[in-house]
């Protein structure tokens, strides 16, 4: 049996300030209570104050980072600031992943990808300033509704397809697609976030900080400074529950195909309200992902939906491509069905 969808320990970037008065009130409260992070280099002003940010509160915590909600004078609105401490992460993370989010996201421009605004680097920390997604994640939505109706799930899935197809067209693989990493903005538009594990298969201009770090690592350990030239990935990324069979087997894998597997896990979870595979025991998980996908009888789903899932949950060589996934009958039909319902509701509200 697949494991239930667990609630995250901390919330995704969700803004509670929807009006000018709300923002001003929160900024005023934050100024009186916030003990700003002082820059480790010894500047008199904090990094936040010096760059026009007023921290409201902490809204998320990751393995090596935390996310804070802030008001930005420059952007005249709320933003999310991801803070990574360079001294609290393993060397491998520094070498492989620290600058990935900046290196990748700054070149990606798409309606369904979170907007990157700027980054600030000190000797001890890296700050990534991004668009704030006000309406939480797919995981939050599932917790509220238990399950998402097929037609709406299809509408959301179409936007996920659009985001991932764009990334792949730019030579970028995400490698950490999951319900927690797909948010909704103020208009409930899907926003793909967290490119920390992403990899660009094309040459990308490096940041100054990344060049310094690589030079330092090369001096300490030349063997670790070698670059990956293959189009296959060997690094395990993401969560077990969303990992493809080839990742779990620990063999070099096609990251493009593995992204599609993870998308399928998100789709299945939206419709059924639970993950497709039980990740509590690795041995059992490996057997499950290699067997034909099963569907719980407690939730009635269409035949077309099941066929779509079966195209995804297969070995990498047989897995549907992102281009063919767009053309899947369920993806096309249910999306149009949801759009018709939305249009009808809008027209009725106008009347």
| Other Cβ atoms within 10 Å of 318 Cβ, number | 8
CA distance 93 to 63: 11
Ordered DSSP codes for 15-80? ----SHHHHHHHHHHHHHH--PPPPTT--SS-HHHHTTEEEEEEEEE-SSEEEEEEEETTTTEEEE
Q: Which residues pair with 78 in a beta bridge?
A: 71
Residue 25, C-beta contacts closer than 8 angstroms, at least 6 positions apart: 17
DSSP label of 318: G
Q: How many residues does the chain have?
A: 351
| Residue of 39, 176, 185, 194 marked active site | 176
Q: HSE-up of 151 (CA within 13 Å, CB side)?
A: 8
Task: Report strand pairing: 199-200 vs 172-173.
Answer: antiparallel
What's CA 170's distance to the chain center, in Å? 17
Q: Is 82 annotated as a binding residue?
A: yes
176 included as an active-site residue: yes
Give the Cα separation of 83 and 74 in Å (integer). 19
Helix locations, the chain, DSSP H: 20-33, 47-50, 91-96, 100-105, 138-145, 150-169, 208-220, 245-248, 255-272, 282-290, 303-312, 322-326, 329-350
Report residue 187: phi and psi, to 5°: -100, 10
Cα separation, 293 vs 261, whole angstroms:
12
Report yes or no: 276 and 258 within 8 Å, Cβ to Cβ: no
Q: Is 298 helix (H, G, I), strand (E, B) or coil?
A: coil
DSSP 259: H
| Binding-site positions | 82
Catalytically annotated residues: 176
| Binding-site positions for ATP | 82
């Amino acid at each position: 049996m697949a494991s239930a969808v667990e609630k995250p320990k901390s919330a995704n970037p969700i803004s509670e300030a929807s009006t000018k008065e709300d923002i001003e009130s929160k900024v005023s409260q934050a100024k009186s209570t916030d003990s700003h992070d002082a820059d480790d280099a010894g500047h008199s002003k904090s990094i936040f104050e010096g760059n026009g940010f007023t921290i409201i509160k902490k809204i998320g915590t990751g393995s090596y980072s935390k996310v804070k909600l802030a008001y930005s004078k420059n952007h005249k609105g709320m933003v999310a600031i991801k803070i990574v401490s360079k001294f609290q992460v393993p060397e491998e993370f520094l070498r492989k992943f620290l600058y990935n989010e900046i290196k990748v996201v700054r070149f990606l421009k798409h309606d369904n990808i979170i907007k990157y605004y700027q980054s600030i680097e000190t000797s001890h920390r890296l700050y990534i300033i991004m668009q704030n997604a006000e309406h939480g994640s797919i995981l939050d939505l599932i917790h509220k509704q238990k399950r998402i109706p097929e037609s709406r799930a299809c509408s959301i899935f179409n936007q996920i397809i659009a985001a991932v197809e764009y990334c792949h067209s730019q030579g970028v693989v995400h490698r950490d697609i999951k319900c927690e990493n797909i948010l909704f903005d103020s208009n409930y538009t899907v926003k793909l976030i967290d490119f920390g594990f992403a990899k660009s298969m094309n040459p990308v201009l490096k940041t100054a900080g990344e060049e310094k770090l690589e030079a330092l690592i090369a001096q300490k350990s030349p063997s670790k400074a070698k670059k990956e030239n293959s189009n296959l990935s060997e690094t395990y990324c993401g969560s077990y529950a969303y990992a493809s069979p080839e990742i779990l087997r620990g063999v070099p894998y096609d990251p493009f195909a593995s992204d599609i597997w993870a998308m399928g896990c998100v789709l299945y979870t939206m419709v059924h309200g639970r993950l497709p595979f039980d990740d509590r025991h690795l041995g059992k998980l490996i057997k499950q992902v290699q067997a034909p996908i099963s569907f719980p009888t407690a939730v009635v789903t269409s035949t077309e939906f099941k066929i779509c899932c079966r195209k995804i949950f297969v070995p990498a060589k047989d897995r549907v491509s992102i281009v063919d996934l767009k053309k899947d009958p369920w993806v096309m039909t249910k999306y149009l069905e949801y759009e018709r319902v939305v249009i009808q509701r809008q027209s009725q509200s106008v009347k």
